[in-house]
A and B are shown apart, each in its own frame.
Chain A
Amino acid sequence: MTGQEIIEKTNKVFEESFEIEKERLVPDANIFVDLGLDSLDIVDLIVALQSSFGVKIRNEEKVRDIRTLQDLYQFISSIKNEEGTKNV
């Protein structure tokens, strides 16, 4: 999965699940401050990302460090890369 595909799929989750306009989905947007997600939304974000990317991330410690969309893209990318490595 390319970096661009990860961005597009992630952004789609924000548009569909949280009704956030595409224009606001810039990499340095803070998920809490700029995009307005709260603790309940984070649960839903995890559920939606798990479904969208076919990964299990609920118990990943690194989730707690995510602040911006760029953090999230990188996190997903690392999870997908780890997955790819495991499959080799």
Chain B
Amino acid sequence: MSLKRVVITGIGVVSPFGNGVPALMKGIEEGRSAVRFMEGWDQYNGLQSLVGAPVTMQGEMSIPRQKRRSMGRMSIFAAQAADEALADAGIMLADEDLWRVGCVVGSTMGSAKSINDVFETMLPDKDLSKLNSTMFFQCMSHTATVNVAQYLGLTGTIMAASAACASALHAIGIGYDLIRLGRQDILLCGGAEELHPTVTGSFDILFATSTKFNDNPGKTPRPFDRDRDGLVCGEGSGILVLEEYERAVKRNATIYAEITGFSTTASGIHVSQSNKESMVMCIRQALADSGVKPEEIDYINAHATATLQGDQEEAEAIREIFGALVPVSCLKGNIGHTLGAAGAIELAASLKMMETGMIYPTLNLENVSQDCEGIQHVMHPLKKQVNTVLKNGFAFGGINAALVCKKI
């Protein structure tokens, strides 16, 4: 059985820079930071990191109430990103065989605010009678993908990928395989996540968050930088339209790129620490799947969350495979770490960089840390023909993911 080719024909995002890909790219192009001091977070005892990259919710009332009622913040972001992605792809669902159209959307967990609200409502008096009917649908792990499917009326394959910060890349990888195997024609794939003090807190108690920039939020996170001190959580959603190649060509779709390689590996060593060896294996397998050599990659969009250990391991992994041959940058300095959405939002931005031939630098990378040297850090906007992109994503649980896209 021959495998089908898979292309990306639409992208949509909700990011801390606002709704839509243009808002995201404008923020990146202008070198801005969306990181803010989070008012009210200081009421949480023990929370050291008081910064985040929030999304200002907009336009949610245009989602019909009976679709919206089961959506927490992340699902609203995902639905809005899916709308944009479909419009960008020029796909009218009314014209499609919806048994052949599905979605795979990942997130770390269900809506953090909704989960918090449920327990705040229920636990003080151990009373379930005040819980409304749709809270569970906001809290369940597959909330984002289910809500996208319900909102759009999709009836094909509906799956969720839950792999923390690698969720979106896993979702895209699953979608890539489903279309390659001929099981679906169109899949909306990506991730969603939302910002909440309990989410930042989960990293904070592990000393993984940025805590020294509460008075100067725009200066953090600082991926690969000498003065980096941890990650900053963000929120949003990224959705990509994956489509079978022949079908996309037949309808004269604009093709951003072909997905040519994907891999995911695990360290099997430690639940929270990153691991260079398993990252190297992951990237090498993605390159092999794609049939490209390291020197054929034109741009690497790094995961680089600005944690001390994670950035070092990723820089070492990139150095081992690519040396200083390939430009490397990441977007966490602009929009924080959007966790389960990161892989899709950052891949969407990478595809726009591919389209325009302009690679944007890692914001807040001012002095490359000694332990992150030896790779080609992009510290200023770089004009370059980009035909092939590698997108990295790594997650708690020792999970690694890497995706290769080629311009066609």
* Residues in B128-165 with C-beta less than 8 Å from chain A: 129-134
Report Cα–Cα, A58/B133, bound state, in Å.
13
Please give, as numbers and ranges, the residues of chain A lying within 8 Å of B134 by CB-CB distance: 40, 44
Q: B65 and A47: CB pair below 8 A?
A: no
Query: Interface size of B by Cβ–Cβ distance < 8 Å?
Result: 9
Q: A40 and B129: CB pair below 8 A?
A: no
Q: A43 and B132: CB pair below 8 A?
A: yes
Q: A47 and B132: CB pair below 8 A?
A: yes
- Is A78 engaged at the interface, CB distance under 8 Å to the other chain? no
Q: B66 and A38: CB pair below 8 A?
A: yes
* B129: min CB distance to chain A, Å: 7
Q: A47 and B131: CB pair below 8 A?
A: yes
Out of B69, B129, B132, name the residue touching A58 (CB < 8 Å). Answer: B129
Out of A18, A36, A44, A50, name the residue touching B129 (CB < 8 Å). Answer: A50
* Residues in A42-70 with C-beta less than 8 Å from chain B: 43-44, 47, 50-51, 56, 58
- Is A21 engaged at the interface, CB distance under 8 Å to the other chain? no
Out of A40, A47, A51, A56, name the residue touching B69 (CB < 8 Å). Answer: A40
Report Cα–Cα, A44/B66, bound state, in Å.
12
- Is A34 engaged at the interface, CB distance under 8 Å to the other chain? no
Report Cα–Cα, A41/B69, bound state, in Å.
9
* Residues in A21-41 with C-beta less than 8 Å from chain B: 36, 38, 40-41
Q: Is the interface of B mostly helix, strand, loop or mixed?
A: loop
Q: B132 and A18: CB pair below 8 A?
A: no
* B125: min CB distance to chain A, Å: 13
Q: Known: A18-B65, A19-B65. Is A41-B129 also a contact (CB below 8 A)?
A: no
Q: Known: A18-B65, A19-B65, A40-B69. Is A56-B133 also a contact (CB below 8 A)?
A: no
* B30: min CB distance to chain A, Å: 37
Please give, as numbers and ranges, the residues of chain A lying within 8 Å of B132 by CB-CB distance: 43-44, 47
* B290: min CB distance to chain A, Å: 45
* Residues in B249-307 with C-beta less than 8 Å from chain A: none
The listed residue with most A CB atoms (<10 A of its CB), out of B69, B130, B131, B132, is B132
Please give, as numbers and ranges, the residues of chain A lying within 8 Å of B129 by CB-CB distance: 47, 50, 56, 58
* A52: min CB distance to chain B, Å: 12
The listed residue with most B CB atoms (<10 A of its CB), out of A36, A38, A40, A43, is A40
* B314: min CB distance to chain A, Å: 44
Please give, as numbers and ranges, the residues of chain B lying within 8 Å of A41 by CB-CB distance: 66, 133
* B351: min CB distance to chain A, Å: 37
Report Cα–Cα, A51/B131, bound state, in Å.
11
Contact with B along A5-28 (1 / 0, CB 8 A): 000000000000011000000000
Report Cα–Cα, A50/B65, bound state, in Å.
22
* A31: min CB distance to chain B, Å: 14
Q: A44 and B65: CB pair below 8 A?
A: no
Q: B130 and A43: CB pair below 8 A?
A: no
Report Cα–Cα, A36/B129, bound state, in Å.
24
For the complex of A and B, the 8 pairs showing the least CB-CB separation, nearest first, are A43-B133, A40-B133, A44-B132, A19-B65, A44-B133, A47-B132, A40-B134, A47-B130
Instruction: List residues of chain B with CB under 8 Å of any chain A CB.
Output: 65-66, 69, 129-134
Further pairs besides A18-B65, A50-B130: 8, Cβ < 8 Å: A40-B133, A41-B133, A43-B132, A44-B133, A47-B130, A47-B133, A51-B130, A58-B129
24 contacts between A and B (CB under 8 A): A18-B65, A19-B65, A36-B66, A40-B69, A40-B133, A40-B134, A41-B66, A41-B133, A43-B132, A43-B133, A44-B69, A44-B132, A44-B133, A44-B134, A47-B129, A47-B130, A47-B131, A47-B132, A47-B133, A50-B129, A50-B130, A51-B130, A56-B129, A58-B129
